[in-house]
């Protein structure tokens, strides 16, 4: 699940060429043209950008966002009530504890899956992992990208601290909706400039690009097919990233900032996410991966890595500083942050190895910003963190990823009941499965 192979590191080349196989779809994918059947719902439109924090490996609800008194807690847990129905360990989440008025916890979430590969697919797409339809089940971020378009130099879908064969991407929706998987390092993206000719480098690059345009002029004006036409768009999109100081600065940060965010891969990704939002350069969906939550053993053993202290503290520090900086820049209220994994973990006492195993009947999620009303929890679980006893929302049932996806779309002003009929196989792709029948819905109770 956590592959770091070079074939999964995305460059401008992937941005340019990643969607050639889907060019037949592009004419359909213009904003507003995707709808085949939709309910007359009213999206909330409270956010401009979504940051989705994928807590890969499936975090324990009892040891993160649905803390309860019990013999399973570490002696230094310091669990405190910080809002209506909301309890957190101050030891594990010192920054979140300070931000409790902004924090909303979901205590009535369930998953359809209890295996990592299927769960990872589900949390990225809100669709089941049916082998026949994997190529026609894009990431939620790619649907957002298609809906919002690409108004700026940055791609609309940015993925940070993310790698692996299980990252879904845009699939049939094509290259312009493909996530840009970018590293987060102090030196930034070194491929945005090619300074082989010193001060003359940019002018030489512009000359060569003009030559390319001249050579391709006839094919651009009279393309042999939609695949060829789409390649021109990819080149133009990649060109907008080159020698652009605003874009270059998005991926750079100082040593002091790196230290403040925790000097971790996740913290560095949070800095780049902050920069991308502040730059207002066209990003609408940012995926952040926090790895290591598959805690089957030694959860609270500080000699074992990862453990709950490092996992929670790294998440807390990265997102806590991100929130503070977005508040300072005035962007927090228009940025929806969602934090969750693919399922929950076994309830009650720890297993004999000092950890927790897979459990799909209860998990917890957290939200902040983007129109969310914080300082409370929605739903209630039983005393051992095993199952939902009070859903806490209008559908009066557990919350599923389909509902969370609907809420993300709603916050961004997107009708989550829309679908696309003309996929390569002819199968209808629904943004959220069965949403048009009313089976799943936006969780309106999360909004203020």
Per-residue pLDDT at 264 exceeds 80: yes
CB count within 10 Å of CB 317 equals 22
Query: What confidence score (pLDDT) does residue 1 get?
Result: 37
> With 90 as the cut, is the pLDDT of residue 21 above it?
no
CA-wise closest residue to 402 among 147, 38, 109, 178: 109
Q: Name the band, by pLDDT with cuts 50, 70 and 90, for residue 349.
A: very high
Q: Encode 104-131 in three state secondary structure.
A: EEEEEECCCCCCHHHHHHHHHHCCCCCH
Average pLDDT of span 341-365: 98
Burial class of 394 by CB neighbour count within 10 A (0 to 12, 13 to 18, 19+): exposed
pLDDT, position 195: 85
Q: Residue 107: its pLDDT value, please?
A: 98
What's the pLDDT at 227?
Answer: 64
Q: Pick the range with the lowest mean pLDDT from 113-127, 140-154, 162-176.
A: 162-176
Query: Does residue 370 contact residue 395 with C-beta atoms inside 8 Å?
Result: no
In the predicted structure, residue 17 carries a pLDDT above the cut 70: no
**Number of residues in the chain:** 448
Average pLDDT, the chain: 89
Query: Would you state the pLDDT for residue 384?
Result: 98
Q: The dihedral of CA 371, 375, 379, 382: what is its sign?
A: positive
Query: Does 187 or 161 have the greater pLDDT score?
Result: 161
Q: Percentage of the chain with pLDDT > 90?
A: 70
pLDDT surpassing 90 at residue 363: yes
Measured CA to CA, the distance from residue 336 to residue 446 in angstroms comes to 11
- The pLDDT of residue 284 is 98
pLDDT at 13 over 90: no
- Which pLDDT score is estimated for 192? 85
Query: Which distant-in-sequence residues (6+ apart) come within 8 Å of 314 by Cβ?
Result: 262, 264, 266, 267, 290
Contacts 24+ apart (CB under 8 A), 200-207: 202/243, 205/242, 205/243
Q: What pLDDT does residue 35 have? A: 59
pLDDT of residue 32: 41
Query: In which element (H, E) is residue 340 found?
Result: strand 335-340
User: What does the DSSP 8-state code read for residue 285?
Assistant: E
Please give the pLDDT value at position 164. 62
431 vs 126: CA distance, rounded Å: 8
pLDDT category at 53 given cuts 50, 70, 90 is very high
- Please determine, for residue 66, whether its predicted confidence score (pLDDT) is greater than 70: yes
Residue 351 DSSP symbol? P
Segment holding 368, helix H or strand E: strand 363-368
Instruction: Show the tokens assigned to 170.
Output: 């845009």
Residue 19 has pLDDT above 60, yes or no: no
Are the beta carbons of 168 and 177 closer than 8 angstroms?
no
Residue 295: pLDDT band with limits 50, 70, 90: very high
Nearest to 345 by CA among 331, 333, 355: 355
Q: Encode pLDDT of 413-438 as tens digits.
A: 999 999 998 888 888 999 999 999 99
For residue 42, give the H/E element and its range. none
Domains along the sequence of the chain with CATH: 6-193+243-446 (3.40.720.10)
Confidence of residue 240 (pLDDT cuts 50, 70, 90): confident
User: Among the residues of 199-307, which ranges form H helices?
Assistant: 201-215, 217-221, 226-241, 245-250, 255-260, 265-279
Interval 36-60 mean pLDDT:
95
Would you call 183 helix, strand, or coil by DSSP? coil
Q: Which two structure tokens, joined as six digits, stand for 204?
A: 């030489």
Q: Is this model's pTM higher than 0.75 or not?
A: yes
Rg of the chain, C-alpha, whole Å: 22
- Please give the structure tokens belonging to residue 237: 């999109």
Is residue 226 very low, low, confident or very high in pLDDT (cuts 50, 70, 90)? low
pLDDT attached to residue 229: 66
Helix (H) or strand (E) holding 244: none
Spatial neighbors of 338 by CB under 8 A, at least 6 apart, are 50, 51, 52, 53, 365, 366, 367, 404, 408
Q: How far apart are CA 347 and CA 411, in angstroms?
A: 32
Which of these, 277, 205, 271, lies nearest to 240 by C-alpha position? Answer: 205
Mean pLDDT of 65-93: 97
Mean pLDDT score, 29-46: 74
Q: Is 369 helix (H, G, I), strand (E, B) or coil?
A: coil
């Amino acid at each position: 699940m956590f592959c770091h192979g070079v074939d999964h590191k995305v460059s401008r080349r992937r941005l340019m060429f990643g969607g050639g196989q889907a060019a037949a779809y592009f004419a359909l994918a213009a904003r507003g043209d995707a709808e085949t059947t939709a309910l007359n719902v009213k999206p909330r439109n409270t956010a401009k950008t979504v940051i989705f924090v994928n807590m890969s490996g499936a975090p324990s609800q009892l040891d993160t966002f649905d803390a309860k008194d019990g013999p399973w807690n570490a002696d230094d847990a310091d669990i405190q009530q910080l809002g209506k129905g909301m309890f957190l360990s101050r030891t594990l989440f010192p920054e979140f504890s300070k931000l409790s008025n902004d924090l909303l916890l979901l205590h009535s979430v369930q998953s359809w899956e209890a295996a990592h590969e299927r769960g990872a697919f589900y949390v990225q797409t809100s669709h089941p992992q049916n082998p026949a339809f994997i190529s026609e089940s894009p990431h939620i971020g790619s649907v957002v990208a298609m809906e919002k378009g690409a108004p700026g130099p940055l791609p609309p879908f940015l993925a940070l601290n993310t790698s692996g064969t299980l990252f879904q991407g845009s699939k049939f929706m094509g290259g312009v909706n493909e996530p840009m998987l970018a590293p987060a390092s102090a030196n930034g993206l070194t491929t945005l400039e090619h300074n082989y000719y010193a001060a003359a480098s940019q002018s030489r690059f512009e000359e060569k690009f003009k030559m390319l345009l001249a050579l391709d002029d006839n094919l651009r004006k009279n393309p042999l097919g939609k695949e060829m036409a789409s390649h021109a768009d990819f080149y133009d999109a990649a060109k907008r990233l080159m020698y652009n100081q605003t874009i270059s600065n998005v991926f750079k940060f100082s040593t002091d900032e790196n230290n403040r965010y925790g000097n971790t891969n996740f913290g560095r990704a949070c800095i780049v996410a902050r920069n991308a939002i502040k730059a207002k350069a066209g990003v609408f969906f940012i995926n952040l991966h926090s790895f290591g939550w598959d805690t089957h053993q030694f959860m609270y053993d500080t000699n074992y890595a990862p453990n709950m202290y490092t996992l929670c503290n790294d998440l807390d520090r990265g997102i806590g500083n991100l929130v503070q900086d977005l508040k300072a820049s005035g962007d927090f209220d228009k940025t929806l942050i969602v934090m969750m994994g693919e399922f929950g973990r076994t309830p009650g006492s720890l297993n004999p190895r000092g950890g927790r195993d897979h459990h799909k009947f209860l998990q917890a999620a957290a939200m902040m910003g983007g129109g969310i009303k914080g300082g409370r929890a929605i739903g209630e679980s039983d005393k051992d963190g095993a199952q939902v006893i009070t859903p806490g929302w209008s559908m009066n049932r557990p919350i599923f990823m389909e509902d969370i996806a609907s809420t993300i779309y709603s916050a961004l002003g997107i009708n989550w009941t829309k679908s696309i009929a003309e996929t390569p196989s002819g199968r209808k792709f629904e943004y959220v499965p069965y949403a048009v029948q009313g089976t799943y819905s936006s969780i309106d109770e999360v909004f203020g």
